[in-house]
Amino acid sequence: MEINNGKLNIEMGPIRPPSESHSLLLRVTRNCSWNKCEFCHTYKGEPFSIRSVEEIQKDIDQVKNIADEIRQLSWNMGLAGKVNQTVLQVIFGQPGTYSQAFQSVAAWLYFGGHQAFLQDANSLVVKTADLITVLKHLKEKLPSIQRVTSYGRARTLARKSVKELQELQEAGLSRIHIGMESGYDPLLAYMRKGVTAKELIQAGRNVVESGISLSEYIIPGLGGKRWWREHAAATAKVLNQIDPDFIRLRTLCIRPNMPLYGNLEKGDFVRLADEEVIEEIKLFIEALEGIHSTVVSDHILNLLEEVEGKLPEEKGKMIEAIARYRSLGNKERLLFRLGRRLGYYRRLDDLNDEGLRDRLERMIGGVPHANCGDGASEELEKEINHLMENYI
């Protein structure tokens, strides 16, 4: 087979969940069907549209062609069709030679070629029959795929019947990611989420009953200083009625290009400090009762990655991780916060790395008016917030 100059392409959207880092990205819809949330900037100013079945199938066919070419490249290199680091170095190491699609498919094959994620923000808004056609074509052309996942908006899923979702599950849809964010109705309204707690419960129950795996995303800090207690308690109450497979934490970060930033500047929204977010998460975890979900903290925006585990048996472990952080002195907490935001630290035990500690202490010393003994100065807090903005 002759390599087609590495220029074959497919259409891809801007984001996917961290847990889908090894997935093939297949764009089913463009942008967000709601696109009004105050805390989101990803799709603002971009029109929503549903791609035709024919367009999507063409991209699936193109992925197969790209995968075949990459495997042929491997054979030409004497690697018997295996996609290993040597093949990746060729495809990623020659700027302008291989398209983004080639690079994306190569990485997907390197990680096994077993997962696919349907983009963008609400692929479940597509007619069920059309989505089934897409799923069947995907499985036919790329039979190595074992798991297919998608974002889905709660209001959309509350209106989908369990039967429809079961049909999607039978066609190959394995998991749905829902951005629940909060279960507190006044906060949902304030953030223009366009959904109620009742609809969140209905959507979640529909997915669980269908047999599709469910991931619910929660935003610690979303209630700010006004509603942090209500946010924690009401969100746990809603989740207790759903019992999703996964509860994923995504701590709030406010960027200047988010609508919420205007409220922050006006003083209408007052964000929580890291210490306050930790207290909110503790209240939230304590209020989760009677469910068997796995709490996951798989994002750099979360200060304590260790606050994760299977409910109910690992609930105590999560509370203990919070208590351990809170027992640290001001200097230790500040060093950990900075190290975490820089990507140096993942666990509290990383504080024992003397080399990293020395580097962080020098950084803190270079910030005007920083006070490592009593906590972060206003100037250092700004620097830490700026670091968080770079991760979304």
pLDDT for residue 38 is more than 50: yes
pLDDT of residue 371: 53
CB neighbours of 148 closer than 8 A, spacing ≥ 6?
115, 116, 117, 118, 135, 138, 172, 173, 174, 175
User: What is the reported pLDDT for 2?
Assistant: 42
| Dist. CA 155–CA 203, nearest whole Å | 7
Count other C-beta atoms under 10 Å from residue 176's C-beta.
29
Domains and CATH numbers, the chain: 18-328 (3.80.30.20), 329-392 (no CATH)
**Secondary structure tally for the chain: helices H, strands E:** 15, 10
* Residue 180: pLDDT over 80: yes
Give the pLDDT mean for 137-158. Answer: 98
pLDDT digits (tens, 9 = 90+) for 58-70: 999 999 999 999 9
User: Alpha helices, DSSP H only, in 52-112?
Assistant: 53-76, 85-92, 100-110
Rounded to two decimals, what is the model's pTM? Answer: 0.92
For 360-374, the DSSP string reads: HHHHHHTSTT-BTTT
Predicted confidence at residue 386, as pLDDT, reads 78
Q: Give the H or E element holding residue 226.
A: helix 224-240
CA atoms within 13 A on the CB side of 360: 27
* pLDDT confidence of residue 5: 55
Model confidence pLDDT, tens digit, residues 311-333: 999 999 999 999 999 999 998 99
* Residues 44/149/152/30 CA torsion (nearest 10 deg): 30
Tokens 């089913």 label which residue?
Answer: 28
User: What per-residue confidence (pLDDT) applies to 7?
Assistant: 64
Summarize the confidence of residues 70-83 as an average pLDDT.
96
Helix (H) or strand (E) holding 148: strand 147-151
